[in-house]
Structure 1
């Protein structure tokens, strides 16, 4: 394999850890589809980066509600008077491409009294025709959303076509829908292309129709009466059809823009995520889908960046569905164009090294590629030499050496080596530094191999990552340990968030959600991902020496353990501020557990006890004996079964 392909594969694996694997993305997408199904009365579409399956810094969270009171038609003759909705007709005669006005049909008679006095106020008469005002519509939507809420209401800001909360954390847009694909976008259906998007996907997209959001073309004389055509549903379908390499390239462009380019104050707001999405749509349509593969990801990204430079340099980026609209027309003056072009060209010269200046991807150079994504039969055989066969059950030994290494075999093997199984053989003699380097290397390789196998189990992912992080900490691979801890904490945050949403939507719309989940070959969202506890043996060789476990098998709360590992790594790296931040997180956990503890909540008591115990060790290590004494005191008070040596440590400090 060439060095370029090898580097691309390493980079791809790294991005899967930082941005999300194919399975992570699938879980996120399915979660939001389920959430959309949870509101059948007012159809909802989750859009933005989060709805597309990305969860990176600055990911926008947009919800589009399809207003059930209106229905849009392309012409008067299409209006269906049998549908009990307020009909609106497109009027594109004097509007910029991608914009339209919405008017009542010429011979509209409100026999059913659909237009009440409040709705009538949203219309304005223009050239003897009643047209729906986007400004008045947004004000009415804001009133509806906030009228039943405590003052001030939750959506107090009008931001473009959306209503936003005061912190700007999420946008909500009420939009109108036309069930048919409109004429201005008809050329997209039939224009020449390679093989993407497929005819089947095009048919699916056009069957979904289009949406209209309440915002006009900036600078238009009738800006308040115009509505922008939105292809959010179509764009979501196209993004979902991407290979994982395509999606990661899209994410890289977003990270480049938000975390590097926009660090230049004068360049903020000149480009936006929608431009990047449009760019990658065009490139995908013009290229052979076979180029989008993991061992070519760097070249694919660089091609995208090169195309972006061209678009900025010539102020040309055509709308993907309606090419008559140039998104970059009059976007920036010559000075800003020169500054943007210069910045992008400089980043292009750096290649992927440009990401060392980003917050999300700055640690790529320190990534240890030993962290396994998939395990091969050869890797496992090397980790379990024949001389160790007596430690394995005969069945496992036979399967390891004589059976085909299928997914089923791997899962069976992993089950018997999982950290919660009685016959786990990871508790070797406590690691002792030896003069025999070969022995130390073999032991390192042996334990690492076992932990790697544990990580191949889908249901043990997070505890497995934390065990691996502890292993690297013991072997003084502090940067690698930090990366893995961050990965485990991120997965915990994702799973907790997505499972809470699934639970809510199951309550709201049980039948539809359950049907969707059953269609999945692997109902990932119903799996019991748990970060609650990790099981560690007293004499296991990868337990931090600062922690002295008293029982043969110890149940340790994983969140406190993760933050304590963070502290230990930063302590040895002499990162004082990060040490204090980790200890603060432990204290916050203790406070959270304390606020929720009851006499029957044994797990919370255990978590609270370990949190305070780790606080005591941490502050003792940095020399703050007063706070350390308090931590050990709290731990000793809650440690009624003498799980820790908090009382002994407290006695020594006293």
Structure 2
């Protein structure tokens, strides 16, 4: 489910990027289907009008008027690495700046290119391997700008011959047909470390992980936990000798060499043990062969001498303990105890048996909410996204998960378009503004049909923004009725029995619309209501592209703001409800990381209704909470305003 949701999101986003001359690919553990705490987000980008070729004869397949060709020169590089020779002057200034002259030719220097890319990023980034590494919000990301090659590397031709039993021929053909990439990092022991590029098989590896059966995938996950929680626990990034890529490589080799003939739940720990012993063997020999180019020893530049000896000794001590060393992993300790003490225990990995319909639905909604966002939008891009989604909705091969994800993306784009349209036509003549308003209202209502219950709050926000307070309150009343239903799901809070009884067996689209709530996600490049603009602006300055607001907090905020203009007698009741929620909630209605923004909004409402002393207290409470969105500057600004008003 996770893979299908991410795949369709990637296809949609990629078509927009492609029209901008760039292709984007999400890689790493998140794309593979893992949801491990602390994992970063891995992205690869490459320009469409540049292609790498292995020999000059391949140039006949390209229109050199439209595409700039780059020739590989592997003659003086270690296996798996190459120099990239620019065959004609680059039309892109940054690539031209990255060129160095060697052997009377212009080569693209990986180190210079990487440095230029880091300097161009709109967010603070630092070089991390071949990537520009940084943080957006609370998510760490590695962004690799690379070059694509449509042909399979000659140095990896032996891999094709090895694929007798795994992966299947159609997977092999698909992998070879899609070629490879080149990422900007050289071999530390190579003759041209600063200028070499590494051959990347990220797309191939992504397809190989998809080709694993479930038990093989779980074994890979077990190795990742073993690495993080046992081997690298408490070790700084610079001192880590093994990485996740070594674990993945071990699983690939073990599967292909048929070391374990039966990959089934009963052999889960045995599969892990076989992979562990292979890693131990590599540490002893000081050789970790790349899965595609075995001549590329991935231990060569870091794992030798003292480092190699220390790693082997540490792994061998674990080997002597046997599988009991997995008890040191906090994530799996309790499960391992059960298995070790009950060797005949039947192990179940069937998700339909392990979790209920409500639990699975919650995971699906969580997935489409978190891992399918479109943020960098303007009217032109919104139009492009809607056109692409419209075309894709008619495709016959879409899975049921992908249909729900496309509907969610449609709602996101429609909402953003509605508010952007209002921003761009606000100062226009009345007739144009009236037409834009009708379109925006229609889009928001359409988006609500594709979304969940709390997505209707965007309509209420728009009505409030355009001074239609009575209409906003009518929407709020409709939402209030829906929120009161006992079967409604919010994050991990759901009565599974009542949920299943009320909406069990319905389509996921209908379930989301009738029985699911979520927090409100405000794109910080778009102004929704004036009361929240400072928070959005300061969050954006701190690399937060989105401001998350608990759905009940925004619900009461809009109710208070609208009643101020319609029925002042009811303002205090709504304010009391909001105050009670913020003061006494224990995580049932919003997670702890949103407490600072909840106190902030309570303060805004108190300040708007003239209760300055209470507002000052709320702002001070906001400052004392975990600064998830990093909006402290906005809070300090509001405290200053209250103090001035009090004088």
Which TM-score applies when normalising by structure 2?
A: 0.58
Asked if 2 retains the 8 angstrom alpha-carbon contact of 1:38 and 1:509, the reply is yes
Partner of 2:392: 515
Partner of 2:186: 216
Partner of 1:93: 75
Partner of 1:238: 208
What is the DSSP-based 3-state SS (H/G/I as helix, E as strand, rest coil) of the residue aligned with 1:46?
strand
**Alignment partner of 1:311 is 2:282:** yes
**1:521 to partner: Cα distance:** 3.9
| 1:272-301 per-position Cα deviation (integer Å, ceiling 9, x unaligned) | 111111111111111178622223212111
**1:362 to partner: Cα distance:** 3.9
Stretches of structure 1 that go unaligned for 5 or more consecutive residues are 1-22, 147-152, 377-451, 464-487, 534-552, 566-586, 620-630, 635-654
- Range moving further from structure 2, 214-223 or 288-297: 288-297
Q: CA separation of 1:141/1:324 partners in 2, compared to 1, >3 Å: closer, same or farther?
A: same
**1:609 to partner: Cα distance:** 5.1
Partner of 1:628: none
**1:141 to partner: Cα distance:** 2.7
Asked if 2 retains the 8 angstrom alpha-carbon contact of 1:180 and 1:207, the reply is yes
Partner of 1:247: 217
Q: CA separation of 1:303/1:121 partners in 2, compared to 1, >3 Å: closer, same or farther?
A: same
Q: Equivalent residues in 2 for 1:373-392 (5 A)?
A: none
Distance between the aligned counterparts of 1:237 and 1:134, measured in 2? Answer: 27
Partner of 2:159: 188
What is the DSSP-based 3-state SS (H/G/I as helix, E as strand, rest coil) of the residue aligned with 1:292?
coil
Asked if 2 retains the 8 angstrom alpha-carbon contact of 1:57 and 1:360, the reply is no
Q: How many residues are matched?
A: 443
What is the DSSP-based 3-state SS (H/G/I as helix, E as strand, rest coil) of the residue aligned with 2:199?
strand
**Alignment partner of 1:57 is 2:46:** no
Distance between the aligned counterparts of 2:579 and 2:164, measured in 1? Answer: 58
**1:325 to partner: Cα distance:** 0.9
Distance between the aligned counterparts of 2:174 and 2:559, measured in 1? Answer: 52
Asked if 2 retains the 8 angstrom alpha-carbon contact of 1:52 and 1:240, the reply is yes
Asked if 2 retains the 8 angstrom alpha-carbon contact of 1:315 and 1:331, the reply is no
Of the three residues 75, 90, 115, the one matched with 1:139 is: 115
| 1:60-98 per-position Cα deviation (integer Å, ceiling 9, x unaligned) | 311111122321111223224633122111111111111
Partner of 1:280: 251
Q: CA separation of 1:310/1:456 partners in 2, compared to 1, >3 Å: closer, same or farther?
A: same
- Range moving further from structure 2, 356-365 or 62-71: 356-365
Q: CA separation of 1:322/1:563 partners in 2, compared to 1, >3 Å: closer, same or farther?
A: same
What is the DSSP-based 3-state SS (H/G/I as helix, E as strand, rest coil) of the residue aligned with 1:326?
coil
Distance between the aligned counterparts of 2:492 and 2:290, measured in 1? Answer: 50
Kindly report the root-mean-square deviation, in angstroms, between the aligned alpha carbons of the 2 structures.
4.6
Q: CA separation of 1:280/1:611 partners in 2, compared to 1, >3 Å: closer, same or farther?
A: farther
Q: CA separation of 1:295/1:89 partners in 2, compared to 1, >3 Å: closer, same or farther?
A: same
**1:47 to partner: Cα distance:** 0.8
Distance between the aligned counterparts of 1:206 and 1:245, measured in 2? Answer: 26
**1:160 to partner: Cα distance:** 1.9
Which fold has the larger relative contact order, with Cα–Cα distance below 8 Å and residues 6 or more apart in sequence? 1
**Alignment partner of 1:77 is 2:49:** no
Distance between the aligned counterparts of 1:229 and 1:54, measured in 2? Answer: 25
Partner of 1:156: 125
Which TM-score applies when normalising by structure 1?
A: 0.58
Partner of 2:105: 129
Distance between the aligned counterparts of 2:149 and 2:337, measured in 1? Answer: 51
Distance between the aligned counterparts of 1:598 and 1:352, measured in 2? Answer: 59
What is the DSSP-based 3-state SS (H/G/I as helix, E as strand, rest coil) of the residue aligned with 1:263?
coil
Q: CA separation of 1:134/1:371 partners in 2, compared to 1, >3 Å: closer, same or farther?
A: closer
Distance between the aligned counterparts of 1:76 and 1:375, measured in 2? Answer: 53
Q: CA separation of 1:69/1:91 partners in 2, compared to 1, >3 Å: closer, same or farther?
A: same
